[in-house]
Amino acid sequence: MSESGMQFPEIDVLVGAAESIWADESIKITITMKAPTRIAEEIEKISNKSFETIMITDSDIRHIKKGHGRGESDRGQSDIMPEDFRVLPTLLSDFDDIEEGVPDKLGNSRYMLRKQIGDMHYLALVQRGKRKLEIKTFYKRKMSGA
């Protein structure tokens, strides 16, 4: 169960994919999920464009591992581990706030999602493509004073 009481069947798949890539970076995987209503509605309000699915690829997970899997304390963050991927469905469907970011080189829109769970802030950068949203990076930081 997530913090908001919702249940997400994709949690085991997300955690398993992250564990597999942490163990063997040559693994190839794409996980596609139906977009939660709230994120679809919020991004449509911002961009006037709709999408139906959210995805994460082995490349995205490798980026998360390499960029946020160790040494994060130097940047005031906490290391992401495969088990942290269990919060992604909650973050995508029950975020505390969403902010539009600078588009990528190809003009794809990007959005930063934030969610506080316990004493941790989780953040995900998602990028909009054609009728889909892709999770590009994911990291966490401990709340100040916690």
Residue 124, helix vs strand vs coil = strand
pLDDT in tens, the chain (146 residues): 334 445 677 899 999 999 999 999 999 999 999 999 999 999 989 888 888 899 999 999 999 999 888 777 777 778 899 999 999 999 999 999 999 988 888 888 899 999 999 999 999 999 987 778 999 999 998 877 54
The per-residue DSSP string of 37-88 comes to: HHHHHHHHHHHS----EEEEEHHHHHHHHHHHSS-GGGGT-B---GGGGGGH
User: What pTM value is reported for the model?
Assistant: 0.85
How far apart (Å, rounded) are the C-alpha atoms in residues 58 and 27?
A: 7
Confidence (pLDDT) at 108: 82
Q: Decide if 133 contacts 143 (C-beta within 8 A).
A: no
pLDDT of residue 4: 42
